[in-house]
Amino acid sequence: MINTLSRLRGAGLVLLAMTAVFGLSGCGNAPTKAQGLRALNAAYDEIRLRENTAVASVPIGAGANVAPGTRQQVQLALKSIEGPVLVAVVVDEDQTAVLGFAGQNGPYRTWITGSRQTLVTRNGVLTGTRGLGFDLMSSEATAAMNLVTARRSGSVERIYRHIDGENHEVPTRMTCSIGPDGAETVTLLSGARISTTRMRETCVAPDLSVSNTYWVSGSGQIPQSRQWVSEQIGPVVLQVLRH
Amino acid sequence: MPEQRRKATRRTVAAVIAVYGAAYPVGMSAEPMVTSSYNLYGVPGLLEMPTAENARDAELSGSFSKSGKQNRTTLTFQFAPRLSGSFRYSKIPNLDIDGDDLYDRSFDLRFQFLDETKWLPSMAVGFQDFIGTGIYSAEYLVATKTFWEDVRVTAGLGWGRLGTGNEITSFGDREYSTDSNGGTLEFDRFFTGPVGVFGGASWNATDKLTLKAEYSSDAYLIETEHGEIDIQTPWNFGAEYRFNPGVSLSAAYLYGSEIGLQLNFTLNPKDPLLGPGNEPAPAPIRPRPPRGSDPAAWSQAWTADQPRKQQIQTVITNVLSKEGIEVEGMSMSGTRAEIRIENNQYLAQSQALGRTARILTRALPASVETFTITQATDGVAETKVSFQRSDLEQLEHASSQAILQRAVFADGAGPLPADMVRTPGYFPQFTWYFAPYLDYSLFDPEDPIRADFGLQLGAEYKLAPGIVATGTLKHKLAGNIDQIDRDPASALPPVRTDFAKYSKATDTYINDLTLAYYNRPIKNVYGRVTAGVLEKMYSGVSGELLWMPVDSRLALGGELNYVVQRDYDGGFGTLDYDIVSGHASVYYDFGAGYMGSVDAGRYLAGDYGATLQLAREFDNGWLVGAFATMTDVSAEDFGEGSFDKGIFIKVPLAWASGQASRSKYGTLIRPLTRDGGAKVNVRGRLFGRVRDTHQPEVEASGGRFWR
């Protein structure tokens, strides 16, 4: 499960105070009554889970680490999940998830974890996430994707959209320079080895600079990538284990 | 100083503000001067002196401070980037008439009218304790300038309390005597009397530590007279330490003889505690196969297949129910489908619409192109929103604006479509809850915080569309509200000041027990009739109409009540006080998060007047506002406080927990409970009930559509 409740440590105290305010709650089946304690408990559990997750991990490349034993879990998942399989590592949290295929809408593929978190990719370029909290709502990345998959250099416009604390979608218009950065043979968690061209994308906006790295195969596919989600979540490393 | 000169100087002050205000209008691109440091009065500032700084926009702070022997508890809200308001409750020892401790409530306002530029300082004008009893009353003009990035230097002129020391000139005489009732705005007093000069500096030594020094113009005249303080110097020194962005502690050495301490908590409604929400991902849109490649999938033959239609509806109903969205009924034809939903899960109606639309694309046959989603509450339709399925398919991964621009909003009033198949067993619906409760009474001089704690059992029975029976039974386990011993002599019928008698008389009581009928008499109009035990103190009948078009920022309403005061024992008995009350209301959404309303009419004590309410709303469900009611009751008859006023706050549970929920916690703080300007409390008032589904609100939270 991907668990990316960032910036939570300071929230514990406030949450305790909120429990005092909202916590007067009990039982029943009324949808909007007496649910304070339940919701705050759930929030508290998520914080605890976040804080207590073991951090012992092994590197898998692209700057990401996975917990020992993940390889075996991935092998199992490859056997039990039918169809395409994606592995995602939230780098800052050392959290790994195996995602199955949830649907395709035109060029967009939606991948889903067992705990109903989703990632959306377009030809391997991440354009959305859901269920992570500080999600990437959508991204206009057609021009970037075209350069990356063609392994060409250039500068393009790209829009990242996030949601803020007031339910407003906040678009960030970025200028991205894209170019090759050498050849590399990628070893996937499934054991497959693929020779790729490493493509770097650096995007800048007035107050923000982010970078993405794509390992692009000879056929223009992206078996491995490290892509930015949001300021709070940071980058995820993706490996497409089965197309 | 002669009257003319006094007027002239006041005109000068006003002119200075006007000139600066015009040269640097609010809302220009320059930034207001922001600090996270609060003074011992709980407002952005030095130690006892204010500065021309603001808190971050929308910041809400609660500050507990001790300045010598005085305790001050202050709530400050940065209502707009350059405008803040504060409410303060203070304990000033031995200063009341009989040498008792004085408990004082005060309100402040501050406006920063000039932004800092390279050469000019930030400037603000402030009114301290401007409608209280006046012990803290002061006005000031203050300038603050930043040097070397982390030092800020402040200089100001103070009137009133802030003009009692370091006098440089005088604007005539000032009426210092505190008004025994308080609560009156005394414009005549503003900027009169001696003018004191104050100043100081703050240095952000590190990210967490701020050091401050100031030269105070508060001579503590009355306190000195009473021998409560020994002022040896106007110089004060202090330090503030920030544990994290929400908590700070300050200590100060004041006037060469006193210690000041302060604990300050801040939060910002714009920043949900746990981010924008951790609800599970929505189901992806399922696009249809192109008509050319799979013509059979586009056939409309399914419309004649009743079992299949029924199965489709059952699947949709079950899947949405798991998302907390209840389906009341559906109608389907070859190319259109209408679904009537009640959202019990998501605070943002847009999110419920998005999730419903997603599920419809996954379950409805390909020939259905138009989806109409009617949002309802208790079976009464509010706003309906129509989408083209092709748009949903095309725009799933685009901005939320793109899809909302194509959505068509319309009033859902009118009879149920003839072909709508109701979800079997949707009515009657019974829900209940059992939970502890906490009631409180604030600012009683004997004990400023009193509370009752107990258990409550609530139930709701929806008999048919729009017909709802609701009741709450409460049982007090512990508390001290019944010990309130004040019998504030009131020239009015004791329509609210009687409240403690209810706590004294019984521990178990019917809090409310009503039968309500909600309906849509005509397009754009909502109706409500509620009868029964309306609230803790009143039984009766209440009727209401609200005109509120789907896309309107303006709404108009009217309410008429006949109520009888309940007996103290919490049963069905009544006292011999009954009255017809009611008001006409205008609600207006100014945009940018500001909302106002005016209610004019007759109040519980038979007084006539109007309530003005102004609130800052956040699209995540937070609400912070203030209200004031002026009626034909004179200030003397009203008693302490002179008129009814207060502040209110609403906090959504989703904001605090990150979990999808429609629950909100609301609180209303009245400095005083009096009998003038009082209204009966009725559940289900229409504006708050129906507004969320209207176009401006759905669009305001539109960012959650694809979530």
pLDDT of A54: 44
Confidence at B511, pLDDT banded by 50, 70, 90 = very high
pLDDT of A72: 81
pLDDT of B24: 46
When scoring B59, B390, B653 by the number of chain A Cβ atoms within 10 A, the one with the most, hence best to mutate, is: B653
User: Mind giving me the DSSP string for B509-522?
Assistant: EEEEEEEEEEE-SS
SS3 B318: helix
pLDDT of A41: 66
d(CA B178, CA B195): 19
The complex's ipTM? Answer: 0.89
pLDDT of B96: 75
pLDDT in tens, B255-309: 999 999 999 999 999 999 889 998 999 999 999 999 999 999 999 999 999 999 9
- DSSP assigned state of B174: -
pLDDT in tens, A178-208: 999 999 999 998 889 999 999 999 999 999 9
Question: Does the beta-carbon distance from A138 to B658 stay under 8 Å?
Answer: no
First to last CA, chain B: 66
Q: Which helix (H) or strand (E) holds B51?
A: none
pLDDT in tens, B150-185: 999 999 999 999 999 988 888 888 876 555 566 666
Residue B460: which of A5, A13, A30 has the nearest Cβ? A30
pLDDT of B226: 87
Backbone angles phi, psi at B149, to 5 degrees: 70, -40
Q: Which of residues 55-94 of A touch B (CB under 8 A)?
A: none
Contacts for A146 with CB less than 8 Å, ≥ 6 apart: none
Lowest mean pLDDT among A175-189, B16-30, B518-532, B567-581: B16-30
Confidence at A18, pLDDT banded by 50, 70, 90 = low
Q: Is A14 on the interface with B (CB under 8 A)?
A: yes
pLDDT in tens, B367-404: 999 999 999 999 999 999 999 999 999 999 999 999 99
Confidence at B590, pLDDT banded by 50, 70, 90 = very high
Q: Is A50 on the interface with B (CB under 8 A)?
A: no
Lowest mean pLDDT among B234-238, B360-364, B650-654: B650-654
User: Mind giving me the DSSP string for A16-85?
Assistant: HHHHHHH----EES-TTSS-HHHHHHHHHHHHHHHHHS----EEEETTEEE-TTHHHHHHHHHHHS-S-E
Q: Is A112 on the interface with B (CB under 8 A)?
A: yes
Judged against a pLDDT cut of 70, whether residue B635 lies above it is answered with yes
pLDDT of B177: 57
Judged against a pLDDT cut of 60, whether residue A16 lies above it is answered with no
pLDDT of B436: 87
pLDDT of B480: 85
Q: Span A168-181, mean pLDDT? A: 97
pLDDT of A76: 83
> B320: number of CA atoms within 13 Å, CB side?
33
pLDDT of B704: 97
Mean pLDDT score across all residues of chain B: 91
Distance from the Cα of B669 to chain A's closest Cα (Å) equals 15
Question: Does the beta-carbon distance from A133 to B658 stay under 8 Å?
Answer: yes
Distance from the Cα of B44 to chain A's closest Cα (Å) equals 22
pLDDT of B170: 85
Question: Does the beta-carbon distance from B285 to A105 stay under 8 Å?
Answer: yes
Judged against a pLDDT cut of 70, whether residue B19 lies above it is answered with no
Question: Does the beta-carbon distance from B267 to A14 stay under 8 Å?
Answer: yes
pLDDT of B354: 98
User: Mind giving me the DSSP string for B94-156?
Assistant: T-STTSPPEEEEEEEEEEEEE---SSSPEEEEEEESSSSSSTT-EEEEEEEEEETTTEEEEEE
pLDDT in tens, B593-634: 999 999 999 999 999 999 999 999 999 999 999 999 999 998
Strands B370-377 and B336-343: parallel
pLDDT of B9: 57
| B contacts of A31 (beta carbons < 8 Å) | 324, 344-345, 431, 662
Is B232 or A13 the better-scoring residue by pLDDT? B232
Handedness of CA B290, B293, B296, B299 (dihedral sign): positive
Identify residue A220 by its one-letter amino acid code: G
SS3 A187: strand
Confidence at B27, pLDDT banded by 50, 70, 90 = very low
Lowest mean pLDDT among B77-91, B125-139, B567-581: B125-139
Q: How far is residue B563 from each of residues B539, B542, B580, B608, B633, measured CA to CA in Å?
A: 6, 8, 6, 16, 20
Q: Is A20 on the interface with B (CB under 8 A)?
A: no
Listed residue (B532, B527, B537) closest to B470, CA to CA: B532
Contacts for B529 with CB less than 8 Å, ≥ 6 apart: B516, B517, B541, B542, B543, B544
| B contacts of A112 (beta carbons < 8 Å) | 281
Helical axes A11-22 vs A36-52, angle rounded to 10°: 160
Lowest mean pLDDT among B37-46, B105-114, B446-455: B446-455
Residue B275: which of A29, A133, A161 has the nearest Cβ? A133
pLDDT of B478: 87
| A contacts of B247 (beta carbons < 8 Å) | 13
pLDDT of A7: 43
Question: Does the beta-carbon distance from A42 to B659 stay under 8 Å?
Answer: yes
pTM of the model: 0.91
Is B134 or B673 the better-scoring residue by pLDDT? B673
pLDDT of B21: 47
Q: Span B57-70, mean pLDDT? A: 94
Is A159 or A97 the better-scoring residue by pLDDT? A159
Residue B272: which of A35, A120, A165 has the nearest Cβ? A165
Q: Is A26 on the interface with B (CB under 8 A)?
A: yes
pLDDT of B442: 82
Backbone angles phi, psi at B134, to 5 degrees: 105, 0
Judged against a pLDDT cut of 50, whether residue B577 lies above it is answered with yes
- How far does CA B371 lie from the centroid of its chain? 35
